[in-house]
Amino acid sequence: MSRLRIVAARGLTGTEFARQVQAAFCRWLLIVAVLTLPALQAHADDWPQWLGPNRDGRWRETGIVDVFPESGLKTLWRAPVAGGYSGPAVADGRVFVTDFVRESGELKNNPGQRSELQGKERVLCFDAKSGRELWKREYNCPYQISYACGPRFIPTVDGDRVYTLGAEGHLLCLTVKNGEILWAKDLKKEYQTESPIWGFSGHPLVDGDRLVCLVGGEGSVAVAFDKYTGNEKWRALSASEPGYAPPTMIEAAGQRQLLIWHADAINALEPATGKVLWSQPLKPDYGMSIMAPRKEGDVLFASGIGDVGATFKLASDQPGAELIWRGDNQTAVYCANSTPIIDNGIIYGCDCRSGSLRAVKLETGERLWDTFAPTTGQRR
């Protein structure tokens, strides 16, 4: 039974559950071994990519603390990094992170305006126990995006290789051991597209010998590369904008389906070929398809900014999906920058309008409760 299932089974109230979720969020500090208490140390599984080993945001270790001591946590080590939104990936005793070192230009805090900056993106690797820098790779990377602080992508570690994606579309495959670049792609140049205004953000998905990426351009919103060579295996889909949602794998109708949510619709593709299996319109404001669609049973949920949220019933006999409900301003939860969790028929997610953590019935979209405890701490 997962940690979340234990919480739900205990029948916790909204506030109590929020405390549990808050502890889960804080686990990021524990997992990178930056902060911990020797007396409370427990074995921590690797966290080799966005949302963990299974890309589901759940940890499966035992012995995780629920409440931090009032005295705080002991700092084991610190390591300087520059700007960015990239979280750490942890695998085999190493911590990987990306950042951006600005050299010139004015950073504008305007969501609708692109900053023009000169600088370098970097890939950094640290020893998880000591914080010692093991290697570093950097490359020139002028920025022309909004919120141009740095990369958005959490590195993906796959065996002896690590994959990174920069905010301007630089896709790299490096060795875990010493950071040697095995292959690289400039997605903007190769696919004749521009950076989304908020940068390349959709975390690529390793699937067998493929690396599936959100790219952009005519007929190439989604592209699968050979993860060993970087050669293109297939490309698919066109859209008004590529969006920001990570490629997501599900199983339905007895087969694996690759979900690509771009600015106009959720699409299911055949993983090996990129063939479109089905498509359902779902258009968030400003092209902000960001969260990864989430599935429980035969129901799929996705939502975004602008009261855009819906569930779809997945067909059982052949690939397909039909609308169950669409949300309005009194129902659903509208997750923009964060991907929710669905457990036992309840959606738990942070609403992009209110800033609160909400619990919503998957079956109907009915709101059960909301709390600000793990977000702002008070109503805005």
Domains in the chain: ranges and CATH: 1-72 (no CATH), 77-201 (2.40.10.480), 203-380 (2.130.10.10)
- The DSSP letter of residue 62 is S
32 Cβ contact list (under 8 Å, min separation 6): 88, 90, 95, 128
User: What pLDDT score was predicted for residue 42?
Assistant: 52
Between the two ends of the chain, the Cα-to-Cα distance in Å is 35
SS3 328: coil
190 Cβ contact list (under 8 Å, min separation 6): none
Helix spans in 10-80 (H): 14-31
Smallest CA-to-CA distance from 117 within 137, 135, 96, 141 is with 141
Q: Is 338 exposed, middle or buried (0-12, 13-18, 19+ CB in 10 A)?
A: middle
User: What pLDDT score was predicted for residue 321?
Assistant: 98
Smallest CA-to-CA distance from 340 within 362, 321, 313, 323 is with 362
How far is the C-alpha of 50 from the C-alpha of 59, rounded, in Å? Answer: 12
User: What pLDDT score was predicted for residue 37?
Assistant: 37
User: What pLDDT score was predicted for residue 378?
Assistant: 55
User: What pLDDT score was predicted for residue 61?
Assistant: 84
Residue that is written with structure tokens 């800033």 in the block: 355
The answer to whether 45 and 33 have CB atoms below 8 angstroms apart is: no
Print pLDDT tens along the chain (380 aa): 333 332 333 333 333 333 333 333 333 333 344 434 343 445 678 999 999 999 998 888 888 878 878 888 888 999 999 999 999 999 999 999 999 999 999 988 888 899 999 999 999 999 999 999 999 999 999 999 999 999 999 999 999 999 999 999 999 999 999 999 999 999 999 999 999 999 999 999 999 999 999 999 999 999 999 999 999 999 999 999 999 999 999 999 999 999 999 999 999 999 999 999 999 999 999 999 999 999 999 999 999 999 899 999 999 999 999 999 999 989 999 998 899 999 999 999 999 888 899 999 999 999 999 999 888 755 54
User: What pLDDT score was predicted for residue 15?
Assistant: 37
pTM of the predicted protein model: 0.87
Smallest CA-to-CA distance from 222 within 189, 250, 255, 263 is with 263
